């Protein structure tokens, strides 16, 4: 049995977990506070954990003097959450626990004698909690290409890190041909409220030579299956989250990738690496709208086949193979 802890923030962690576990041979139990929706089908069982962040504004010493990320004193949710995890470990006796991601869950599992695999994250992960987590982990999985992004802080753990490539739920799904017309189609995906439907209307008025389509922007439409829109775009403009980047890579589309503000400069690190590699136009922040024609044409001059260097094809299966090997005792 493998336990797979899935952080409740956003959709990315559960999407990635489902992609990996679709290839895992060992039985897997998902452990999360987030509703998993259709992603639950990828697991043999699901354990819903209590939330530990409901008293965020009244939390006392949540970092334990800077050693951890989130352990507020006398927090009932934290106590119930850790008790639920301990009870599951005691009953299920897992061979392995995957943490995506939590320093505290990593330590709890290891203190129960359970080997832990941690999903590494981009950015500057040099703070004491992350360093403690990565040192404690039995193995690390980096969901990106080492050829493109090789952070110095991760190199001390190279002997236990698998750089499997970016993971997309659309890996292997056929992509339709883009229009290639003189009036290219645009797709904008925003990671938050940075771009709105009103912005797209403004861009359409200012730059009528382009067709602007929005997906997942504030005030705009949402789709549970964005693949046809991504695969049919001539240029994708999206934030630098790991799942969005992997989906663009799977579709091999020209792209402008923009870093949204995130802890530890996570998205900035990804956007910078993609830009330096010549794979996409990478920006550290959303640009002045007047720059869009220049940025779009820069993206169109890049070779979309360079996305193969992000190693999306087979990435989830490579991660799953690591988990099966560890769970079955084939790695020390």
pLDDT at residue 332, as a whole number = 46
* 9 and 137 housed in the same domain: yes
Same domain flag for 12 and 133: yes
Q: In terms of domains, do 58 and 204 share one?
A: no
What secondary structure does DSSP assign to 191-233, as a single string? SSSSSBHHHHHHHHHH-TTSEEEESS-BTS---S--HHHHHT-
CATH number for the domain that contains residue 124: 3.40.50.2000
Q: 144 and 191 share a domain?
A: no
Parent domain of 193: 185-310
In terms of domains, do 128 and 261 share one? Answer: no
In a domain, residue 179? The reply is: no
Q: Residues 103-131: pLDDT tens digits?
A: 999 999 999 999 999 999 999 999 999 99
Q: Same structural domain for residues 277 and 218?
A: yes
Q: How far is CA 238 from CA 123, 189, 234, 246, in A?
A: 18, 5, 13, 11
* Residue 96 CA neighbour count, 13 Å, CB half: 25
Q: How many domains does the chain have?
A: 2
Q: Do 34 and 84 fall into the same domain?
A: yes
From first to last of its 332 residues, what are the pLDDT tens digits of the chain? 999 999 988 788 999 999 999 999 999 999 999 999 999 999 999 999 999 888 777 889 999 999 999 999 999 999 999 999 999 999 999 999 999 999 999 999 999 999 999 999 999 999 999 999 999 999 999 999 999 999 999 999 999 999 999 999 999 999 866 555 566 677 777 656 688 889 999 999 999 999 998 888 888 777 889 999 999 999 999 999 999 999 999 999 999 999 999 999 999 999 999 999 999 999 999 999 999 999 999 999 999 999 999 999 999 999 999 999 999 986 54
For residues 79 and 203, state if they share a domain: no
pLDDT value at position 272? 98
Residue 290: what pLDDT? 96
Cβ contacts of residue 308 below 8 Å, gap of 6+? 249, 252
Q: Are residues 227 and 101 in the same domain?
A: no
* pLDDT of the residue at 42: 94
Same domain flag for 206 and 163: no
């Amino acid at each position: 049995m493998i336990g797979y802890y899935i952080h409740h923030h956003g959709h990315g962690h559960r999407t990635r977990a489902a992609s990996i576990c679709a290839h895992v041979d060992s039985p897997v139990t998902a452990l999360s506070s987030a509703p998993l929706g259709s992603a639950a089908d990828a697991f043999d069982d699901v354990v819903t954990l209590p939330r530990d962040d409901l008293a965020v504004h009244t939390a006392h010493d949540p970092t334990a003097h800077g050693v951890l990320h989130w352990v507020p004193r006398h927090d009932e949710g934290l106590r119930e959450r850790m008790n639920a995890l301990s009870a599951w470990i005691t009953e299920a006796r897992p061979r392995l626990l995957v943490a995506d991601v939590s320093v505290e869950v990593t330590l709890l599992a290891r203190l129960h004698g359970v080997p832990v695999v941690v999903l590494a994250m981009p950015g500057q992960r040099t703070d004491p909690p992350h360093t403690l987590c990565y040192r404690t982990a039995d193995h690390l999985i980096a969901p990106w290409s080492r050829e493109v992004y090789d952070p110095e802080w991760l190199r001390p753990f190279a002997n236990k890190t698998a750089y499997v490539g970016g993971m997309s739920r659309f890996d292997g799904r056929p992509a339709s041909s883009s229009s290639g017309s003189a009036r290219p189609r645009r797709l904008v995906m925003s990671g938050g409220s940075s771009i709105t439907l009103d912005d797209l209307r403004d861009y359409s008025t200012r730059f009528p030579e382009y067709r602007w389509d929005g997906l997942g922007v504030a005030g705009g439409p949402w789709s549970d299956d964005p693949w046809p829109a991504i695969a049919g775009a001539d240029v994708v403009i999206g934030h630098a989250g790991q799942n969005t980047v992997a989906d663009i890579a799977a579709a091999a589309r020209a792209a402008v990738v923009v870093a949204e503000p995130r802890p530890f400069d996570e998205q900035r690190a990804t956007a910078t690496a993609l830009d330096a590699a010549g794979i996409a136009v990478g920006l550290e922040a959303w640009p002045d709208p007047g720059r869009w024609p220049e940025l779009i044409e820069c993206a169109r001059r890049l070779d979309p086949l360079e996305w193969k260097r992000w190693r999306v094809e087979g990435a989830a299966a490579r991660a799953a193979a690591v988990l099966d090997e560890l769970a079955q005792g084939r790695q020390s």
